[in-house]
Amino acid sequence: MIIDIFLPLSLVFIMFTLGIGLTVQNFQNIINQPKALILGLINQMVLLPLIAFIILLIIKLPGEMAVGMIILACCPGGVTSNMLTRIAKGDTALSISYTAIVSIITVITLPIIVGFSMQYFMGSNAPSINIFSLGLTMFCITTIPVSIGLYINTKYHNFSASFLPIANKISTILFIVIIIGALTSEWEIFINNLNLLGPAILSLIFLMLLIGYCSATLFGLNKEKSITIAIESGIQNATVGITIGNLILNQGPGLSTLSLPSGVYGILMYLVCLPFVFFILKKIK
């Protein structure tokens, strides 16, 4: 129940929440200053899957879990990255806009990259995947809710401004419920594979936070934008990863093996990201 119905509906609401925090001006600003957007997109769309692939060549994982890592690496950031950016005193408007744009682009890139990774890591054991159908599903549960949220914020700004703080809290609660509920249903599998998945997941988060921040400063972006790109590069939407994993390989009640890396990631990311945020705040002071 939590996987088949509650999870997709929760993801739709979370993406809607992202949308009502957007304005058309957000997109205009990053188009007028494209350096941060281009750099962030390269980190997210090219380097992140590539780094994940390299990690998987070093840290050997079973085929399905390796594909799950690639699914995670192809996911956009989420509401969590926006909140962490705000706490770390980054460029929140850039963070929200960047997350929305990547969410739209991954409708195309995620099915293609995941399709190739399934053939590479699983070979003949790979389940059949309809790339068009998967892309269409992602469009329905990510792009459409974001677009509706943006429309409501544009036409009914007073309502969205008062509803956004409540929506953010609901989204956070939904995210926690999803992770706890999914892992509870497969707790034994989670415990048995934590030692296996932990090093790969932590390596991915740490490296992308480092690459994101260093690349931004290397190209002369200010501290606020550097913090934003670091967090957006290192934080993926675990809810999307869990949902896509279960859509591809539905093993019945509980968490799909393809979703397991995203479920573990949903917890472990805080162990790396929160210290990073506190370090940034300390440096700012």
Is residue 272 within 8 Å of 202, Cβ to Cβ? Answer: yes
pLDDT of residue 90: 82
pLDDT of residue 48: 92
Which stretches of the chain drop beneath a pLDDT of 70? 1-5, 7, 79, 126-127, 178-179, 181-187, 189-190, 250-255, 280-285
Domain ranges of the chain: 2-284
pLDDT of residue 252: 58
pLDDT of residue 69: 92
Task: Convert the pLDDT of each residue in 239-279 to its tens digit.
Answer: 788 878 877 776 555 667 788 888 788 777 777 777 777 77
What is the third-level CATH fold of 2-284? Na+/H+ antiporter like fold (1.20.1530)
Task: Convert the pLDDT of each residue in 70-102 to its tens digit.
Answer: 999 988 877 677 777 877 878 877 887 787 788
pLDDT of residue 56: 93
Q: Please give the full DSSP string across 91-130, using - where no structure is assigned.
A: -HHHHHHHHHHHHHHHHHHHHHHHHHHHHHHHGGGPPP--
Q: How far is CA 175 from CA 109, 168, 182, 237, in A?
A: 24, 11, 11, 10
pLDDT of residue 57: 93
C-alpha to C-alpha distance for 239 and 214, rounded to whole angstroms: 27
Rounded to two decimals, the pTM is: 0.79
pLDDT of residue 254: 60
pLDDT of residue 261: 87
